[in-house]
Structures are given as structure tokens and as C-alpha cells.
Amino acid sequence: MEPIDVIAGKLRELDLPAEEIDALAPVALLFSRGQPPEPTTADTRQLVAYLSSVMPARSPVRQAIRAHQQRQGAGVRGLLATARTQVSLFGLDFWLVSALVTLVGAVVVLSNVGDGLSGQEVLLRASGPFLAYLGTVIAFRGMQRRVLECELVCLPSPLQLALARLVIVLGYDVALGLALSLALWAGGAEQVLALTLSWLMPLFLVTGLALLLSLRLSVQVAASLAYAGWLAVVALSATSSLQALSLTPLAEALLGGIGLALLAIALLRLQTNMHRLLPRF
């Protein structure tokens, strides 16, 4: 039975006047005074036995996979192990095309070293997000390949799979970005940091936007919309009459931050929104 002062404390939480607390306390007290029936130990044991008998059984295969996962751990090691299983999703064309785009970007920028920064920046701003487009379309094409249902029911959750794939895509793109910076620095380009930002930050923005849009639209459409939208911004900022829209390195860093924030939102909503992509009957 609860003491009257405990009950009065609970009633005070309701912002009631003191006289009403005094009047209502005996009523609230009745809840702990009466004695509803209690289950016996045998009742509880019987209930547990019944529930255990209807508990969904796990196949030996699933149990073995789960045990293997538990041995791997749930942290970075587990994520990298999952990422390793996802590498085969990305065919040779993804690795080569991404490297080629970066290489072409570096060559074009280095061959126009004397032509000023803005032209080089425009080229990098357009080519960097192309890798994001490519990565998103290839990494998240479960529906297109008619395997989305399988992805949704496999042991790693959709979130774990998305994270693992993003580790591959962004890891590779960032590595290419670093290689690009090195190439530009070695080639004598001016303002290597600004050029690298022009390449990497829009890449984050387009990846984040594409992934967020992919929660409502097909991945192909989402990635195309995100990339096309970004190209439109680049085209506008390159037009002589709209030079005011030119992006400073700080603004680009901000765009990259927004991209990462969009990415985080998309990942947080992924678990509850994936079902929208399933085919409707």
C-alpha cells in the first residue's frame, strides 16, 4: 500500500490546488489498497511454458549466422566485415569509371593551370557529384534488381547495409579525392585545398540528397534529380551574369556539412521508410 504522502506527491504533479489534493487523495489511495487477484507461481510457469511453445523458432542456419555476427562484434569491425560482403555489388565498371572521372578531372585542371581558378572549380564541381550519382545508383539498386525484399529480411538491418555500402562508396570517393589533391599539388596547381573542396563537398551534398530522396522515389530518379539539381546550380553560378552565386570555399564546406546532415537524416529514417519502395499490388 502506498503511503498517503506518496499519493499526495503524485497528485501535486497534476497541478491541483491543495484542498482538491486532500479531497482526491483517498480516492487515489484505493488503487493500492484493494487487492486484485495475483497469479500463482504455477500460473506464471504455465504461461511461460505456453509462450515458449509458440515462440518463433530459428533455423540452425540463422542461428549459426547470428553466432558468427556476435563473434565479429557490433562496432566498426562488424561494419567493415559487412562492408566487405558488399564489395561484390560494385562491379569493375564502378571502380574504373570513378577513377577515370577523377583522372580526367585532374588532367583537365592541370592542363588549364594558367586559366584561373573558376573554370577549374566548375569542372570539379560538376565531376565530383557524378561519382556520388554513380555510387548511389549502384549501391542502392535492390528494387531495380528485384532483391529489395531479400535485403529487408536478411540479418544485417537495412541501416547496417546502407552504412556498409556508404563506407565503400564514400571511402573510395574520398580516397580518389585525396589522390586528386596530391595530383593537383604535384602538378603545381594553385589553391589545392579550394579545388579539392570543390570536388568533395558537392559529392557529399549530392549523396545525402540522393539518399534522402530515395526514401520516397526510386533510386535512379532520386540520384538523377539530386545530380541534375546540382548541375543546375553549377550552371547558374558559372553564368557571367550570376557570378554572385559563386561558391566560396567556406560556402562549399557548408554545403558538404548540409550533405552529411542529409545523409544522417536519410539513415535515421531508412529503417521506417524502406517499405515504401516495395512494389505495390
Partner 1 sequence: MQAQSDEQLMAMLAAGETAALEILVQRYHRMLLGYLYRFVGGDRSLAEDLVQETFLRVLRQQHHTMPESFKAWLYAIATNLARDHLRSADCRHMAAVPEEDWLALRDPSPDPETLVLAAEQERLLVAALGQISAEYRAALLLRYFNGLSLHEIAEALHIPLGTVKSRLSTGLRHLRPIITQKQVGVATHGTD
Residues that bind partner 1 (CB under 8 A): 2, 7, 10-11, 13-16, 23-24, 27-28, 30-39, 43-44, 47-48, 50-52, 54-56, 58, 63, 66
Write out 4-20 in H/E/C secondary structure: HHHHHHHHHCCCCCHHH
CA distance 110 to 234: 20
Least Å from the CB of residue 118 to partner 1? 50
Per the listing, cell 539530386 goes with 226
Contacts with 83 (C-beta within 8 Å, 6 or more apart), sequence order: 164, 165, 167, 168
The nearer residue to partner 1, 32 or 239, going by C-beta atoms, is 32
Phi-psi label, residue 15: left if phi above 0, alpha if psi -120 to 50, beta otherwise: left
H-only helix segments in the chain: 4-12, 18-33, 41-54, 60-72, 76-86, 92-111, 117-139, 148-153, 158-186, 192-213, 219-238, 249-273
The nearer residue to partner 1, 70 or 144, going by C-beta atoms, is 70
The nearer residue to partner 1, 76 or 153, going by C-beta atoms, is 153
The nearer residue to partner 1, 44 or 144, going by C-beta atoms, is 44
First to last CA, the chain: 56
Least Å from the CB of residue 247 to partner 1? 41
Q: Taking the C-alpha atoms of 96, 97, 102 and 103 in order, what is their torsion angle to the nearest 10 degrees?
A: 60
The nearer residue to partner 1, 75 or 114, going by C-beta atoms, is 75
Q: Cα separations (Å) of 265 from 58, 162, 173?
A: 33, 13, 21
Least Å from the CB of residue 69 to partner 1? 10
Least Å from the CB of residue 62 to partner 1? 9
The nearer residue to partner 1, 24 or 110, going by C-beta atoms, is 24
The nearer residue to partner 1, 66 or 145, going by C-beta atoms, is 66
Residue 226 near residue 213, CB atoms below 8 Å: yes
Least Å from the CB of residue 233 to partner 1? 39
CA distance 164 to 223: 19
Least Å from the CB of residue 20 to partner 1? 8
Least Å from the CB of residue 262 to partner 1? 24
